[in-house]
Chains A and B, each alone.
Chain A
């Protein structure tokens, strides 16, 4: 558990000790939690196999609502994946000092969220056993995918995003892995020697020479620079899955910025939701402080205002266009059969985050934690509302219909949360959850040191 308290020779040594000290040892609660998560994942796996065996009809999706909870989950998790690279890449380029203690966990979140999101396009396929038809691979039948389809754009965007995020995250880890390797030098026992070897291999031979640093820093900078437009593009592409369609309620040019803001909004909320229990469990209260939550609260507020603006702009455009189809679609979205989800979405995403205007609330970790949970719920419902209400009331009134999720869809949704948390908890115990190197940089630059809450910031 948390590092042994007591003074160290230098502040740097304290950082190494505290962060590495939080690794590996797990208590009974942790193990029970992991077992529960595995059980939920297993149950979702059973549900998926059931769906593959008997057909998509086991899910609740139907004509005309052909996309339901699966695509909601897909967009939700891709959204969650946006905070990580935003915090690490964009704030890195902007030299925001407060990112250093949360960027590693946020990046890990990105990777696990993409791993979760990436499952849903597969789960929702009618014939998942032919998923490779989407890949542009040379084949004997001389078939190629349709590069005009937003789904192929998605395929490219999500796989690029996953690859680049993984490499970016791993590059950031290399010096930290070398630190762990050197701390483990001369470890005892089979397990100790295995760990030493493992982190030795993973650190790729990092020795901290100035040559290595010179190439490394350059590569990291460039990866941050290209990851920034990538983050913005990925959720834009996801939004185009909808905006490129002619479906009323989807066909809108506002979708790309609206989705990107929404993604960052939900991503920040998830960072807050996860970091609160996580800093407590790993004893890292000195590393993620009120100072960081204050900043995250500001970002949450900003993106909430953008999202709220987008909701209003959507309604304004529907009215201003004078298109009766669009009109009816938006009227029904707010007042029709799916009024409940609409109200949840509006309350959680627009009204509750306004509390972040108060500095006291932003610096109150418990309050911010509760707000962040509301935002997570609200953002899930936002995607549900956009997808389901638009499809249920389309152009042809004779073909209007309703959608209700089935137990298969709900099981798989629960499984996706368990899957995500499982990886995150595994990560928290095996890799430095806070960037050792970057905290040291913050200390050296005098930006921030562990324990500093920056009350007067």
Chain B
């Protein structure tokens, strides 16, 4: 692959960023990334990446929790069979509570683990393009492209009134 160039524009308003990203995407550029202190659904739509797979982690975690909740309670009641209060060994209504709590616990933990895995967190090395302002009041739009298109992109980003535009070759 040929050498690629990076154009970074810094804005201070998320609505501008949405416009900038949308126009870049409309031109067919794929490799756009955005940095910022906040994120909005509108901007996520503009970036146009597929929904996060984190939801699947939550589902699988929840199902695992539910099944293991019922399994633990029922199995241990038969394994250690003591009659209490004349109740059945598999007292399902009582075990629903345990299964419910374990569903929640597992779903929550696996959603978080999914997020960490997909974000490659925790890490000690920040993203190479990170700047301190990105967690304060600056939004960065970073486009990686063929050298031939750098100028066009730079102009497009400038048209949205950035604080600063940088080109790295």
Find out whether the CB atom of A168 lies under 8 angstroms from the CB atom of B79: no
Whether a CB of chain B sits under 8 angstroms from the CB of A146 is: yes
Q: B117: nearest residue on chain A (CB-CB)?
A: A215
Given contacts A148-B84, A153-B97, A207-B134, contact A218 B52 (CB under 8 A): yes
Residue from the list B37, B119, B121, B124 in contact with A12, Cβ < 8 A:
B37
Whether a CB of chain A sits under 8 angstroms from the CB of B28 is: no
Residues of chain A within 8 A of B109, CB atoms compared = 163, 167
Q: A141: nearest residue on chain B (CB-CB)?
A: B80
Residue from the list A212, A226, A437 in contact with B58, Cβ < 8 A:
A226
Find out whether the CB atom of B39 lies under 8 angstroms from the CB atom of A171: no
Given contacts A136-B76, A147-B77, contact A441 B136 (CB under 8 A): no
Whether a CB of chain B sits under 8 angstroms from the CB of A280 is: no
Find out whether the CB atom of A210 lies under 8 angstroms from the CB atom of B44: yes
Residues of chain A within 8 A of B13, CB atoms compared = 444
Residues of chain B within 8 A of A240, CB atoms compared = 97
Residues of chain A within 8 A of B116, CB atoms compared = 204
- The winner among A204, A218, A441 for most chain B CB atoms within 10 A is A218
A-contact 0/1 string along B121-161, CB 8 Å cutoff: 11111110110111111000000000000000000000000
Residue from the list B77, B101, B133, B136 in contact with A157, Cβ < 8 A:
B101
B-contact 0/1 string along A180-196, CB 8 Å cutoff: 01110100000000000
Whether a CB of chain B sits under 8 angstroms from the CB of A142 is: yes
Residues of chain A within 8 A of B100, CB atoms compared = 229, 233
Find out whether the CB atom of B98 lies under 8 angstroms from the CB atom of A147: yes
Find out whether the CB atom of B130 lies under 8 angstroms from the CB atom of A229: no
Give the shortest distance, in Å, between A450 (CB) and chain B (any CB): 14
Given contacts A148-B91, A215-B115, contact A226 B55 (CB under 8 A): no
Find out whether the CB atom of A160 lies under 8 angstroms from the CB atom of B37: no
Find out whether the CB atom of A152 lies under 8 angstroms from the CB atom of B55: no
For the complex, give the distance between the alpha carbons of A205 and B44 in Å: 21
Q: A212: nearest residue on chain B (CB-CB)?
A: B119
Residues of chain A within 8 A of B43, CB atoms compared = 210
Whether a CB of chain B sits under 8 angstroms from the CB of A178 is: yes
Whether a CB of chain A sits under 8 angstroms from the CB of B40 is: yes
Residues of chain A within 8 A of B108, CB atoms compared = 163-164, 167-168, 222-223, 226-227
For the complex, give the distance between the alpha carbons of A133 and B108 in Å: 26
Give the shortest distance, in Å, between B122 (CB) and chain A (any CB): 4
Find out whether the CB atom of B124 lies under 8 angstroms from the CB atom of A210: no
Find out whether the CB atom of B137 lies under 8 angstroms from the CB atom of A210: no
Whether a CB of chain A sits under 8 angstroms from the CB of B63 is: no
Residues of chain A within 8 A of B105, CB atoms compared = 159-160, 163-164
Find out whether the CB atom of B44 lies under 8 angstroms from the CB atom of A208: no
For the complex, give the distance between the alpha carbons of A342 and B139 in Å: 57
Give the shortest distance, in Å, between B109 (CB) and chain A (any CB): 7
Whether a CB of chain A sits under 8 angstroms from the CB of B19 is: no
For the complex, give the distance between the alpha carbons of A201 and B73 in Å: 39
Whether a CB of chain A sits under 8 angstroms from the CB of B1 is: no
Find out whether the CB atom of A208 lies under 8 angstroms from the CB atom of B123: no
Main SS class of interface, A: helix
Find out whether the CB atom of A215 lies under 8 angstroms from the CB atom of B98: no
Find out whether the CB atom of A156 lies under 8 angstroms from the CB atom of B111: no
Give the shortest distance, in Å, between A314 (CB) and chain B (any CB): 23
A-contact 0/1 string along B89-125, CB 8 Å cutoff: 0010011011011101101110110111011111111
For the complex, give the distance between the alpha carbons of A313 and B84 in Å: 32
Residues of chain B within 8 A of A144, CB atoms compared = 76-77, 79-80
Residues of chain B within 8 A of A167, CB atoms compared = 108-109, 112
Whether a CB of chain A sits under 8 angstroms from the CB of B12 is: yes
Find out whether the CB atom of B135 lies under 8 angstroms from the CB atom of A182: yes
Residue from the list A10, A156, A179, A222 in contact with B135, Cβ < 8 A:
A179
For the complex, give the distance between the alpha carbons of A201 and B112 in Å: 17
Whether a CB of chain A sits under 8 angstroms from the CB of B36 is: yes
Given contacts A147-B98, A148-B91, A156-B98, contact A215 B112 (CB under 8 A): no
For the complex, give the distance between the alpha carbons of A361 and B126 in Å: 49
Whether a CB of chain B sits under 8 angstroms from the CB of A140 is: no
Find out whether the CB atom of A218 lies under 8 angstroms from the CB atom of B115: yes
Find out whether the CB atom of A233 lies under 8 angstroms from the CB atom of B101: yes
Give the shortest distance, in Å, between B152 (CB) and chain A (any CB): 22
Q: A20: nearest residue on chain B (CB-CB)?
A: B136
Given contacts A9-B137, A153-B97, A182-B135, contact A226 B37 (CB under 8 A): no
Q: B125: nearest residue on chain A (CB-CB)?
A: A205
Whether a CB of chain B sits under 8 angstroms from the CB of A47 is: no
Residue from the list A11, A179, A207, A218 in contact with B55, Cβ < 8 A:
A218
For the complex, give the distance between the alpha carbons of A182 and B91 in Å: 54
For the complex, give the distance between the alpha carbons of A214 and B80 in Å: 47
Question: Can you list 8 A-B pairs with a CB-CB distance of less than 8 A?
Answer: A179-B37, A206-B135, A215-B118, A218-B54, A222-B54, A222-B58, A444-B14, A444-B38
Which B residues contact A (CB, under 8 angstroms)?
12-15, 33-40, 43-44, 47, 49, 51-52, 54-55, 58, 62, 72-73, 76-77, 79-80, 82, 84-85, 87, 91, 94-95, 97-98, 100-102, 104-105, 107-109, 111-112, 114-116, 118-127, 129-130, 132-137
Q: 5 other contacts beyond A147-B95, A207-B35, A216-B115, with CB at 8 A cut-off? A: A10-B137, A147-B98, A160-B105, A208-B35, A218-B115
Can you list the 3 inter-chain pairs with the closest CB atoms, starting with the nearest? A12-B137, A205-B123, A219-B115
